[in-house]
Amino acid sequence: MLITGASVGVGLQIATLLRPTLLARDRCLVLTARPSSLARFADAGFFDDDRVMVRPLDVTDRIAQEALLAEISQRWGGVDVLINNAGVSYRSVVEHVTEAERLEQMDVNFRSAMALTVACLPHMRARRSGRILAVSSVGGMMAMPTMAVYSASKFALEGAYEALYYEVRPWNIHVTLVQPGFINSDGFEKVRFTAQARTALDDGNDPYHAHYRHMQDFVARLMRWFGQSPRHVAKQVVRAIDRRRPPLRMAGTCDAWAFSFARRFLPRWLYHAALYRGLPHVRQWGASSALQAPANVPQGDANGPAVDETVEARPGVGVPTR
Ligand SMILES: NC(=O)c1ccc[n+]([C@@H]2O[C@H](COP(=O)([O-])OP(=O)(O)OC[C@H]3O[C@@H](n4cnc5c(N)ncnc54)[C@H](OP(=O)(O)O)[C@@H]3O)[C@@H](O)[C@H]2O)c1
């Protein structure tokens, strides 16, 4: 079993839950983390032994990926369970992301996970069994303001894994996306504000200032309110590994289950309208942009544009629903 980003948070909890059962499962564990985070394994009591291998792996480093897989292949034949957990989260509105930041986000959360998946598949196909899991996110099924690029990376992962789910089923390879919602951990505090987002957060006159300020407080409140720990998510991952036929998607936390339910069963226009109205202090958003918008751009009223115009029309009112 190979876990990426395993030195902290969800990854470390998965490793901790799996460790006592390795012998019973007749499994070995390969724990990886960025070279700079490797020392944390020793702090958590993980060392190399006959069933555990601790190795540096920056997932964006394709040469390091290849070298690690070659070593695993030589020692244990190959990877039979892959857990793509490593992830980063940029916080920014769409307008404040540079191409370099967009690529960095996609590289860690999507492209690297796909490269590792592709590299592990030949061994799984040859033995006609395997498990491929990814720690995705509620952000992979719904998008929230200031999290566009993060959601894009998780949506990409979800799309590719959904296709993979069908493609590799004939070889008895199971693909699962575990979707956590808000986790009460330092993971969410490690979000990376893009350079422009940071400036806008600090500048009360920036058109997007209110978006950042209110979303930041809102997310912190939700994290505390739901109170789900990385261990909750790790338990779902282990459950997915243990199930004979794991589903394609599993909620990682109970709020993820609630969001998924709302997304599936509410009419789309109602879902978007409710979400928009539920945004923190949304009536104040854009208030400062009125001063800076070009004169010929039509302005909304003080409450912003009507929700139906900003999101999508109701069924039968012009815009086709998805
Ligand atoms: N925290 C949440 O609220 C939340 C919600 C939904 C989904 N998720 C997802 O859950 C997964 C685990 O997150 P977490 O909450 O446990 O966050 P975390 O504590 O920040 O852990 C993320 C892990 O990914 C590693 N990582 C980042 N960039 C990497 C790279 N280039 N190469 C290798 N490892 C890298 C980090 O290593 P370093 O320690 O070296 O930075 C860390 O070990 C992520 O995929 C995240 O998107 C988290």
pLDDT single digits (tens) 84-94: 999 999 999 99
| Residue corresponding to tokens 């806008």 | 200
Ligand 1 atom with the smallest distance to the CA of 186 is 19
* Residue 239: predicted pLDDT: 97
Q: DSSP letters along 271-309, please? A: HHHHHHHHSTTGGGTTTTHHHHS-TTSPP--TT-S-HHH
Q: What are the tokens at 294?
A: 């070009």
Give the span between the Cα atoms of 32 and 39, in whole angstroms: 11
* Mean pLDDT score of the chain: 90
**Percent of the chain clearing pLDDT 90 (strictly above):** 81
Give the span between the Cα atoms of 93 and 144, in whole angstroms: 10
Ligand 1 atom with the smallest distance to the CA of 58 is 32
* Residue 227: predicted pLDDT: 78
Q: Helical H runs in 142-242?
A: 148-167, 195-202, 209-226, 230-242
Q: Which of 114, 137, 192, 232 to mutate to test the pocket of ligand 1 (most atoms within 8 A of CB)?
A: 137
Band (pLDDT 50/70/90 cuts) for residue 188 is: low
Catalytic residues: 150
* Residue 289: predicted pLDDT: 54
> What is the CA(167)–ligand 1 centre distance, in A?
27
Give the span between the Cα atoms of 143 and 150, in whole angstroms: 9
> What is the CA(182)–ligand 1 centre distance, in A?
13
| Model pLDDT for residues 239-285, shown as the tens digit of each residue | 999 999 999 999 999 999 999 999 999 999 999 999 999 999 999 99
* Residue 199: predicted pLDDT: 97
Which residue's CA lies nearest to atom 18 of ligand 1? 187
pTM of the model: 0.90
Which residue's CA lies nearest to atom 32 of ligand 1? 58
* Residue 185: predicted pLDDT: 77
* Residue 100: predicted pLDDT: 97
Q: Which of 37, 55, 150, 231 to mutate to test the pocket of ligand 1 (most atoms within 8 A of CB)?
A: 37
Average pLDDT over residues 294-320: 42
Q: Which of 134-138, 308-312, 317-321 has the highest mean pLDDT?
A: 134-138
Q: What are the tokens at 188?
A: 């969410």
> What is the CA(205)–ligand 1 centre distance, in A?
33
Which residue's CA lies nearest to atom 8 of ligand 1? 137
Give the span between the Cα atoms of 46 and 54, in whole angstroms: 8
Ligand 1 atom with the smallest distance to the CA of 138 is 6
Ligand 1 atom with the smallest distance to the CA of 40 is 39
Give the span between the Cα atoms of 229 and 227, in whole angstroms: 6
| Residue corresponding to tokens 């499994």 | 27
Q: How many CB atoms lie within 10 A of CB 317?
A: 10
Domain covering 2-265: architecture: 3-Layer(aba) Sandwich (3.40)
Q: Measuring CA to CA, which residue among 81, 89, 79, 92 is closest to residue 110?
A: 89
For the chain, the structural domain boundaries read 2-265, 269-322
Dihedral-angle region of residue 217 (phi above 0 means left; psi in -120 to 50 means alpha; beta otherwise): alpha
Give the residues surrounding ligand 1 with Cβ less than 6 Å away. Answer: 4-5, 7-11, 33-34, 36-37, 57-60, 85-89, 108, 135, 137, 180, 182-183, 185, 187-188, 190, 230
* Residue 220: predicted pLDDT: 87
* Residue 122: predicted pLDDT: 98
